């Protein structure tokens, strides 16, 4: 196990942390190209992705020197199919699932590559809810959907890696186990104590407000990851309408009505 732990690739992955403070220095083109090429070598179904780049640090989140937007892209694949005399007949939900896999795996490879070159990064998962605005900014054709964004640059901070669930709550061999109270509480304790030890939410001043008349019982001394993530998914996005609308505007049709209109 010691030999594996010293493996440089694994150590780079285990040392991952989100970086939100960057130096002003912009990585050179050869570094940028190396990161994107490493991203391309991720496993894929059909390379259904494209990558957008902004070097506008004044506008980029966290004033990062680089902002990458990784998109699910079937526009250019349709162009290839036209050259071969084909048209896509596969439903858009299936295409999106495969495209999301392609784009997400590429993004992860880019993060690891950047880290190995001394850069830091931060995932921004809300791009999909701003897909149409991003499309306007980058003049995206239909059938290109912004999935996730990455800020990348030389770190101006060095936070510790964030906690993860214990393996017994993650790796299930043979069958999915009965999750006992002991297993669940231990998993929660691992995450919460780990984040509290780093004063993560206190430093970010990041506490999600309660809705629906719930009484606030937490301070930054005991507000941690499990309460944070429960507030997020217990209060946000109960209706998929917003996301479906963004997909429809980008040319991906999931509803029967829009699929019929597309065929007309």
Closest CA to 228 of 253, 260, 206, 254: 206
Q: What pLDDT does residue 1 have?
A: 46
In tens, the pLDDT along 102-119 reads 999 999 999 999 999 999
Domains and CATH numbers, the chain: 2-158 (3.40.109.10), 163-264 (no CATH)
Is the pLDDT at 139 greater than 50? The verdict is yes
Mean pLDDT of 188-202: 98
Is the pLDDT at 211 greater than 50? The verdict is yes
| CB atoms closer than 10 angstroms to residue 231 | 18
Q: What pLDDT does residue 260 have?
A: 59
pTM of the model: 0.92
Is the pLDDT at 264 greater than 60? The verdict is no
Is the pLDDT at 261 greater than 80? The verdict is no
Q: What pLDDT does residue 7 have?
A: 85
In tens, the pLDDT along 145-177 reads 999 999 999 999 999 999 999 999 999 999 999
Higher pLDDT, 202 or 5: 202
49 in Cβ contact with 71 (< 8 Å):
yes
Could you write out the three-class secondary structure of 131-193? HHHHHHHHCCCCCEEEEEEEEEECECCCCCCCCCCCHHHCCCCCCCCCCCHHHHHHHHHHHHH
Mean pLDDT of 74-101: 96
Average pLDDT in the chain: 94
3-state SS, residue 66: strand
| CB atoms closer than 10 angstroms to residue 187 | 18
């Amino acid at each position: 196990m010691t030999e594996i732990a010293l493996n440089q690739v694994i150590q780079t992955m285990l040392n991952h942390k989100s970086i939100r403070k960057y130096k002003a220095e912009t990585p050179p083109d050869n570094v940028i190209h190396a990161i994107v090429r490493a991203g391309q070598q991720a496993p894929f179904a059909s390379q259904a992705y494209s990558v957008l780049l902004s070097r506008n640090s004044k506008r980029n989140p966290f004033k990062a020197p680089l902002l990458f937007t990784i998109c699910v892209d079937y526009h250019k694949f349709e162009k290839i199919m036209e050259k071969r005399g084909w048209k896509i007949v596969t439903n858009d939900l299936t295409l999106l699932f495969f495209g999301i896999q392609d784009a997400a795996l590429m993004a992860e490879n880019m993060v690891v590559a950047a880290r190995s070159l001394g850069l830091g990064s931060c995932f921004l998962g809300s791009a999909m809810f701003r897909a149409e605005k991003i499309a306007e900014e980058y003049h995206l054709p239909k059938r290109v959907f912004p999935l996730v964004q990455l800020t990348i640059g030389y770190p101006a901070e060095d936070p510790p890696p964030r906690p993860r669930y214990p393996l017994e709550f993650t790796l299930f061999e043979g069958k999915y186990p009965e999750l006992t109270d002991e297993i669940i509480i231990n998993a929660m304790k691992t995450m919460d104590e780990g984040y509290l030890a780093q004063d993560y939410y206190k430093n970010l001043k990041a506490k999600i407000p309660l809705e629906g008349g719930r009484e606030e019982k937490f301070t930054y001394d005991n507000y941690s990851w499990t309460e944070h993530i429960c507030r997020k998914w217990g209060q946000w996005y109960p209706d998929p309408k917003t996301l479906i609308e963004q997909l429809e505007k980008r040319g991906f049709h999931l509803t029967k009505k829009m699929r019929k209109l597309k065929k007309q």
